[in-house]
Amino acid sequence: MPITIFGGCSTLVVVKEGEYAIRDPSLAPKGRDMIEWARDHMPVLEAIRERFEEERPLEGITVGMTLHLEAKTAVLVETLMAGGAEVAITGCNPLSTKDEVAAALVREGVHVYAWRGETEKEYYQNIDRVLSHEPDIIVDDGADCIARVHTEFPDLTERVIGATEETTTGVNRLHAMHREGILKFPVIAVNNAKTKYLMDNRYGTGQSALDGLMRATNILLAGKTVVVVGYGWCGRGIARRARGLGANVIVVEVDPIKAMEAIFDGFRVAPMDRAAEEGDIFITATGNRDVIRGEHIEKMKDGVILANAGHFDVEIDKEYLEEHCEEKIDRRGGLVTEYRMPNGKRVYLIAEGRLVNLAAGEGHPIEIMDISFALQALSVEVLAKEGEGMEPGVYKVPKDVDKRVAELKLKSMGVELEELTPEQREYMESWEEGT
Ligand code: NAI
Nearest to 114 by CA among 140, 89, 86, 145: 89
Let me know whether 260 and 334 are in one domain: yes
| Ligand 1 center–CA 193 separation, angstroms | 16
Is the CB of residue 350 less than 8 Å from the CB of residue 307?
A: yes
**DSSP E strand stretches across 294-391:** 304-308, 327-331, 336-340, 346-350
What pLDDT does 323 receive? 97
| Ligand 1 center–CA 143 separation, angstroms | 15
DSSP string, 62-111: EEEEES--SHHHHHHHHHHHHTT-EEEEE-SSTT---HHHHHHHHHTT-E
CA distance 425 to 421: 6
Q: Compute the radius of gyration of the chain from its Cα atoms.
A: 22
| Ligand 1 center–CA 241 separation, angstroms | 16
Which pLDDT tens digit goes with each residue over 51-105?
Answer: 999 999 999 999 999 999 999 999 999 999 999 999 999 999 888 899 999 999 9
Let me know whether 192 and 208 are in one domain: no
CA distance 279 to 87: 45
420: left (phi over 0), alpha (psi -120 to 50) or beta: beta
Ligand 1 pocket: which of 166, 168, 227, 355 to mutate (most atoms <8 Å of CB)?
A: 168
Let me know whether 114 and 215 are in one domain: no
CATH number of the domain enclosing 229: 3.40.50.720
Secondary element (H or E) of residue 210: helix 205-217
Ligand 1 pocket: which of 70, 201, 261 to mutate (most atoms <8 Å of CB)?
A: 201
What pLDDT does 1 receive? 42
Q: What is the DSSP letter of 316?
A: B
Let me know whether 30 and 11 are in one domain: yes
Ligand 1 pocket: which of 308, 311, 364, 369 to mutate (most atoms <8 Å of CB)?
A: 311
- Arithmetic mean of pLDDT, 259-282: 98
CA distance 318 to 352: 8
Which pLDDT tens digit goes with each residue over 232-254?
Answer: 999 999 999 999 999 999 999 99
What pLDDT does 7 receive? 38
CA distance 313 to 347: 17
| Ligand 1 center–CA 285 separation, angstroms | 4
Domain residue limits at 210: 204-359
Neighbouring C-beta atoms of residue 212, cutoff 10 Å: 26
How large is the greatest C-alpha to C-alpha distance in the chain, in angstroms? Answer: 78
| Ligand 1 center–CA 353 separation, angstroms | 15
Nearest to 140 by CA among 84, 183, 99, 204: 183
Let me know whether 354 and 372 are in one domain: no
Is the CB of residue 306 less than 8 Å from the CB of residue 348?
A: yes
What pLDDT does 339 receive? 98
- Arithmetic mean of pLDDT, 391-420: 96
Let me know whether 304 and 372 are in one domain: no
Let me know whether 382 and 354 are in one domain: no
Q: What is the DSSP letter of 55?
A: H
Residue 4: burial class (beta carbons within 10 Å; 0-12, 13-18, 19+)? exposed
State the chain's mean pLDDT as an integer.
95
What pLDDT does 2 receive? 44
Q: Provide the total of helices (H) and of strands (E) in the chain, helices listed first.
A: 19, 18
CA distance 333 to 199: 32
Tell me the percentage of the chain whose pLDDT exceeds 70.
97
Let me know whether 253 and 380 are in one domain: no
Tell me the percentage of the chain whose pLDDT exceeds 90.
95
Q: What is the DSSP letter of 341?
A: -
Q: Does the pLDDT of residue 119 top 70, yes or no?
A: yes
Is the CB of residue 201 less than 8 Å from the CB of residue 233?
A: yes
Domain membership of residue 430 (yes or no) is no
Let me know whether 33 and 167 are in one domain: yes
| CA distance to 262, 273, 277, 286, 366, per residue, from 237 (Å) | 11, 23, 23, 13, 17
Instruction: Give the helix ranges, DSSP H, for 144-191.
Output: 144-152, 156-159, 168-179
Q: Which residues line ligand 1 (CB under 6 A)?
A: 167-169, 197, 201, 205, 229-235, 252-255, 258, 285-288, 291, 309-311, 355, 357, 364
What pLDDT does 4 receive? 47
CA distance 360 to 357: 6
Let me know whether 368 and 355 are in one domain: no
Which pLDDT tens digit goes with each residue over 157-172?
Answer: 999 999 999 999 999 9
Q: How many domains does the chain have?
A: 2
What pLDDT does 6 receive? 37
Q: Does the pLDDT of residue 434 top 90, yes or no?
A: no
CA distance 269 to 406: 33
